[in-house]
């Protein structure tokens, strides 16, 4: 079955960076985009960007353009999201999610379990 398993919770100081992994299985890793999203406590969802695992091309939301880096490792079918210059308002649950098909419909059919990143001094 399709699985996306994310790394564990993180606690970071303001100004630090965090790198979260998302290990995928059960489907052709290099065929489908993987998206990253986040959800602050009690809030709605925020799209951060995506990566295509075949060639590594990325598309970031303008808000995160200068702070986020998405990469992949095809040997382990894993994608990574690194967010730098962390602030307290970056405290959120971070999700990876698989693009549903090979079209440009940003429908996300499988999700990781989410990773809580807490930014606090």
Partner 1 sequence: DIQMTQSPASLSASVGDRVTISCQASQDISNFLNWYQQMPGKAPKLLIYDASHLETGVPSRFSGSGSGTEFTFTINNLQPEDFATYFCQQYDDPSTFGGGTKVEIK
Q: Closest CB to partner 1 among 47 and 54? A: 47
Q: Does 10 bind partner 1 (CB under 8 A)?
A: no
Going by C-alpha positions, the residue among 104, 109, 53, 48 that lies closest to residue 81 is 48
Q: Does 92 bind partner 1 (CB under 8 A)?
A: no
Binding residue for partner 1, selected from 83, 112, 117, 119, defined by CB under 8 A: 112
Q: Tokens standing for 62?
A: 């303008």
Q: Tokens standing for 57?
A: 């091309």
Q: Closest CB to partner 1 among 5 and 16? A: 5
Length of the chain: 121
Residue 42's beta-bridge partner residues? none
Min. distance of Cβ 44 from partner 1 in angstroms? 5
Q: What residues have CB less than 8 Å from 65, skipping those under 6 apart?
A: none
Using CB under 8 A, list all residues that contact partner 1: 35, 44-47, 59, 61-62, 95, 97, 100, 104-109, 111-114
């Amino acid at each position: 079955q399709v699985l996306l398993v994310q790394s564990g919770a993180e606690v970071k100081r303001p100004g630090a960076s965090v790198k979260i992994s998302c290990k995928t299985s059960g489907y052709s890793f290099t065929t489908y985009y993987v998206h990253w999203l986040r959800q602050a406590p009690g809030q709605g969802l925020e799209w951060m960007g995506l990566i295509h695992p075949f060639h590594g091309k990325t598309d970031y939301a303008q808000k995160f353009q200068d702070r986020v880096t998405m990469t992949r490792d095809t040997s382990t079918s894993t994608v990574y999201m690194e967010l730098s210059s962390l602030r307290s308002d970056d405290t959120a649950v971070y999700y990876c999610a698989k693009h549903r098909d090979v079209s440009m419909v940003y429908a996300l059919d499988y999700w990781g379990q989410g990773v809580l990143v807490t930014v606090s001094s």
